């Protein structure tokens, strides 16, 4: 099967055997490397203009945005020495695993940051949809009548998005540092990844210890939290919440296709991330 140009770009980035050079002579630990990479990623995808509430979703613009962040995510990881020096197959498996889980968390983090008092979901660039409205945000040039029939399937997904991700992130007032630590935890949690090599598992265990030690120091010495366990539990729940939301949307899309209501694989495949 012929690869798309975006897939080729991602594989070309991940195929490099060494990490991107930050600055000659400077040695950084994993979390410092990842935070640098995240800042580069964030600069590529964060809104550059005031927020606009969408009345309809432009799939073409949405797809271009997802292409940009797909490539930016691969570049972000290649700033990290432990990741970059793994075999290509392991890097690709870890990348796909992170992309599936992290993207929704990052989007809701950014949504909460930009619109704290509204139930908005930042979809692409500076465009957001209002999750509090019962009226659907249609997809440009789509069959609106068919799409409207999917709403009984989609409203429960929307409720999960708000209750499991958006509201908890707002309640936590999630910091960028915590978001980057979540990214690291997701990346190196390999238990659900089939075919990962023993070497990658060993590296994951070693780096995970560094991550937890770093998160402990962040909470104790920067946030001055004597008992951070309750916050840590809420933080880690966001990972499972992202998986639940993804699964709920996938189920809704499959049901819609089974009953020949609406083909989400054509118009909303980027939300499923398959």
Tell me the CA distances in angstroms from 159 to 84, 119, 151, 152, 165, one per residue in order: 38, 11, 12, 12, 10
Q: What is the dihedral of CA 128, 161, 170, 110, to 10 degrees?
A: -40
- Domain borders along the chain are 20-133+140-272
CATH class of 20-133+140-272: mainly alpha
- For 61-110, the pLDDT digits (tens) are 988 999 999 999 999 999 999 999 999 999 999 999 999 899 999 999 99
Query: Is the pLDDT at 21 greater than 90, yes or no?
Result: no
Query: Is the pLDDT at 217 greater than 90, yes or no?
Result: yes
Choice among 34-43, 60-69, 146-155 with the minimum mean pLDDT: 146-155
Residues 6+ apart with CB under 8 A from 153: 252, 255, 256, 261
Query: Is the pLDDT at 252 greater than 80, yes or no?
Result: yes
* Confidence tier at 264 by pLDDT (50, 70, 90): low
Query: Is the pLDDT at 273 greater than 70, yes or no?
Result: no
Return the pLDDT at 265: 57
Query: Is the pLDDT at 37 greater than 90, yes or no?
Result: yes
Q: What is the mean pLDDT of residues 184-211?
A: 96
Placement of tokens 């366990």 in the chain: 229
Greater pLDDT, 59 or 247 = 247
Query: Is the pLDDT at 3 greater than 80, yes or no?
Result: no
Looking only at the bridges linking them, the beta strands covering 52-53 and 127-130 are parallel
User: To the nearest whole percent, how much of the chain has pLDDT over 90?
Assistant: 68
Q: Is 186 left (phi over 0), alpha (psi -120 to 50) or beta?
A: alpha
Long-range contacts of 5-13 (CB under 8 A, 24+ apart): 6/67, 6/70, 6/71, 9/71, 9/74, 10/70, 10/71, 10/74, 10/95, 11/88, 11/92, 13/71, 13/74, 13/75, 13/78
Tell me the CA distances in angstroms from 29 to 36, 91, 218, one per residue in order: 11, 19, 15
Q: What is the mean pLDDT of residues 137-148?
A: 81
Return the pLDDT at 1: 40
CA atoms within 13 Å, Cβ hemisphere of 66: 19
Query: Is the pLDDT at 258 greater than 80, yes or no?
Result: no
Query: Is the pLDDT at 243 greater than 60, yes or no?
Result: yes
Return the pLDDT at 211: 97
Return the pLDDT at 139: 79
Q: What is the mean pLDDT of residues 193-202?
A: 96
pTM comes to: 0.90
Return the pLDDT at 274: 35
How much is the mean pLDDT over the chain?
Answer: 90
Greater pLDDT, 272 or 227 = 227
Tokens of 15: 């195929």
Q: What is the mean pLDDT of residues 112-126?
A: 89
């Amino acid at each position: 099967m012929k690869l798309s140009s975006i897939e080729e770009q991602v594989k070309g980035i991940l195929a490099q055997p060494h990490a991107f050079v930050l600055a000659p002579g400077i040695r950084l630990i994993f979390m410092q490397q990842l935070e640098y990479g995240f800042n580069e990623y964030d600069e590529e995808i964060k809104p550059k203009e005031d927020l606009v509430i969408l009345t309809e979703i432009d799939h073409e613009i949405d797809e271009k945005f997802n292409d940009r962040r797909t490539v930016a995510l691969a570049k972000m990881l290649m700033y990290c020495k432990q990741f970059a020096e793994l075999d290509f197959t392991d890097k690709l498996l870890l990348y796909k695993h992170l992309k599936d889980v992290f993207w929704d968390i990052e989007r809701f983090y950014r949504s909460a940051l930009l619109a704290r008092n509204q139930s908005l979901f930042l979809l692409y660039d500076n465009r957001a949809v209002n999750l509090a409205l019962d009226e659907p945000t249609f997809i440009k040039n789509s069959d609106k009548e068919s799409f409207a029939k999917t709403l009984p399937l989609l409203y429960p997904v929307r409720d999960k998005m708000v209750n499991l991700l958006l509201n908890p992130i707002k309640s936590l007032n999630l910091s960028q540092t915590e978001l980057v630590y979540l990214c690291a935890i997701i990346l190196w949690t390999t238990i659900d990844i089939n075919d990962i090599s023993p070497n990658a598992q060993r590296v994951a265990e070693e780096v995970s210890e560094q991550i937890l030690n770093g998160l402990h120091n962040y909470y104790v010495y920067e946030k001055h939290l004597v008992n951070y366990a309750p916050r840590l539990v809420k933080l880690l729940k966001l990972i499972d919440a992202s998986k639940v939301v993804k699964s709920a949307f996938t189920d809704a899309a499959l049901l819609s296709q089974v009953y020949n209501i609406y083909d989400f694989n054509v118009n909303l495949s980027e939300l499923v991330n398959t």
